[in-house]
Amino acid sequence: MENITTSHSRVLLSKITASWEKRARVKHYLLPNETSYEIDKPDFIETLIPIKNSRTYLNLSDAQKNKILSYGWLAYNAKTIAIESKIISPVCYDIIDGHIPGADDNDSRMLISETLTDESYHVLLCHHAMAMTEKYRKINRDIFPNFDLIDKVIELENKYTEVWQKKLVRLSVAIVSEIFISDYLKSISTCVDIVTLNRETVRSHRMDEMVHSRIFTELSKKIYFDLSPIQKKFLSSVFHYPVLYFSSKELNVWKNILDHVCPESVAKIMNEIAEDKWFDLSNIDYSHLIMLTEEMGMKNFLEIINLEERSLENTKI
């Protein structure tokens, strides 16, 4: 029997589905124009990189720092593609195939099919932006190791043997990914100091994600209501992990970037940031997740996050 919360969610989701033709960026199909790639501007925002406070980094030449920022922009897009292809898309297909309770109705499948189309367009946006950067900066995207976020998600999924557990692990990561608000999206999409093409790429992505946040919020309520008690307990037990995973600074990626730009300075820079935490929750606004967990009845979500953060503070890079 449907309760008031899920009934309200169903109505909202139906309205969002009906608006897709007008709101979805893919329906406009306007990739940022190559003429908006100004080679005299940096590709990325320096304050967003985890090595920004290293004395050795600050003493590098402008050319080296700009090249690091260009690689940082490639890494940002490569990680976005990994999230879309390895986390979001598989969950969308789980829903489309009817494998997720509470989301196996035709309306949910239609909405997620639209969302999957959006996500595919985001991958296209990222590849287009990366191709322009590679063309004008004479650098290559194929230098990055596996992203810490993806490795940790796979590691968590592999801890469990039941198929339904693995699906709920993936679902929890997708929900967190789509609902939390990253400062990166907002900062890049509004920054006039970086290459316009890059800003417009992220702006288009962000416009879709603002709607996706609402979609996954309401869909999560429908799903959670339909789970069995043991499934609800399991989802509650793993829901906090993705927040921590998304806060990773991906320092192995940045070490690879430094290896390609300033190999003689890698050891010094990594040593200078060695006292820093390997994660940074300050770039993530998960207040919407807190409200969602409270509404669904997941207990102690914020307390668990705070406990995990204090525990991780003792873990060095």
Q: Can you give the pLDDT at residue 17?
A: 81
For the chain, domain boundaries: 4-312
Res 313: pLDDT: 62
- pLDDT tens digits, one per residue of 170-210: 999 999 999 986 668 889 999 999 999 999 999 999 999 99
In this prediction, the residues of the chain whose per-residue pLDDT falls under 70 are 1-5, 29, 181-183, 311-317
At the topology level, CATH places domain 4-312 in Ribonucleotide Reductase, subunit A (1.10.620)
Contact by Cβ (8 Å): 6, 222 = yes
Q: Which helix (H) or strand (E) holds 6?
A: helix 4-18
Residue with tokens 């995990």: 308
Q: Name residue 316's beta-bridge partners.
A: 277
Per DSSP, 141 falls in state: S
Token representation of residue 165: 């557990």
Beta-strand ranges (E) seen in 12-80 are none
pLDDT of residue 317: 46
Q: Is the pTM of this model over 0.85?
A: yes
* Spatial separation of the C-alpha atoms in residues 86 and 170, rounded to whole Å: 9
